Structure 1
Amino acid sequence: MAHRSFLLLGVLCVKHHFTKGEALFLYPLFPIPTPTEILHYQYLTVYKSLLSKDPAKNVEEMIIHIDKVDSDASLHEDYVEYRVHGKNNSSEWDGYWDISANNWEEWLGFYIDHNVLERFSSEQIAALCLYEMTWFGFSEELNHE
């Protein structure tokens, strides 16, 4: 990936005390990553992190729901926005919970609503949940600040 090459250039420059001229000479060999490449790498890092975690016990019986958001705010006709949220059998609250700040082990233990399983592919569910899980950043620490 391009961003690893670019980071390598930075490490080489610092480690070997390259002058600005030497760094500029090497620069074309280490392209700057595009925003899409950076985003792809960040999501891949989160996904790999999730593979190494064990799901927490779903003591609150939280169920993931995904709903289409009706909005006129989009500039594109074909743009569709979804809301990922949770619902449980809580006596305190009969509405939906914002689950974006839950820790990732909890996310892995949440159930998925049967309507979601019927309407979306596994890949779509994973993508929408990853987007919601990383709403505050690409590390759990950022989600809890």
Structure 2
Amino acid sequence: MNTLKDLVSITPFDKVWGKIILNYSDRMEREIKDIQNDFIVLYEKLHNVELKDNLSNMFIYIVAFESDEDDEPVYQPSFDENNQNLYFDVSGRDDEHFGYSLVGNNFNEWLNFYIDSDTLNSMSFESILAHCLWEMTFFGYDNFDNDNDNDNDNDNEMN
């Protein structure tokens, strides 16, 4: 089973950044170069941070939706990950199959979450990472468990 950390370890940042730009550039509230710098620093930290145990066997699920003519979401069981008309939902499910928003989890936890096999089979590692990183940074770029691993002062800035 692959964890998010496994994907971070083998996927170059520039490929992940390309997918972030593809899917989220229209949602960025700050200058792209500033956001890119924040993501570069974060991605480097993710390579070295201490993991927290995944005691509940949390899996990351990413599903795609497209809006219909009434602007209602329609689940897309198969899709082209580069389709800019899609939007993606990142959520978690534990060993009791309960669904969760993962946005409140710290990055040390995220890294040790498993990636659902359907998610792994439906998109590239860089797309999975782009969607996870976007979700992870909803409240900032410094949500680590260990204070000594983080010296980033933009912990209150959002995308």
Q: TM-score, normalised by structure 2?
A: 0.59
Q: State the match for 2:107 in structure 1.
A: 104
Which of 95, 98, 101 is the equivalent residue of 1:89?
A: 95
Greater helix share, structure number: 1
> Cα deviation per residue 1:73-132 (whole Å; 9 max; x = unaligned)?
79xx94211010000123xxx441001110111101100000111011111111111001
Q: 1:118 aligns with which of 118, 121, 135?
A: 121
> How large is the RMSD of aligned CA atoms in angstroms?
2.4
SS in 1 for 2:139: coil
Percent pairwise identity? 30
Q: Which runs of 5+ in 1 are unaligned?
A: 1-33
- Which of 51, 54, 71 aligns to 1:55? It is 51
Closer/same/farther in 2, CA of residues 48 and 96 from structure 1, 3 Å limit: same
TM-score of the superposition, structure 1-length normalised?
A: 0.65
In the other structure, the counterpart of 1:45 is: 41
Aligned pair count? 105
User: Which one has more relative contact order, counting CA pairs under 8 Å at least 6 apart?
Assistant: 2
> Is the contact between residue 54 and residue 105 of structure 1 (CA under 8 Å) also seen in structure 2?
yes
Provide the rounded CA distance (Å) in 2 between the counterparts of 1:42 and 1:79.
26
Provide the secondary structure at the position in 2 that maps to 1:89. coil
Write the distance in 2 (CA, Å) between the matches of 1:79 and 1:95: 29
Q: Aligned equivalents of 1:114 and 1:39: distance in 2?
A: 30
Bigger-Rg structure (1/2): 1
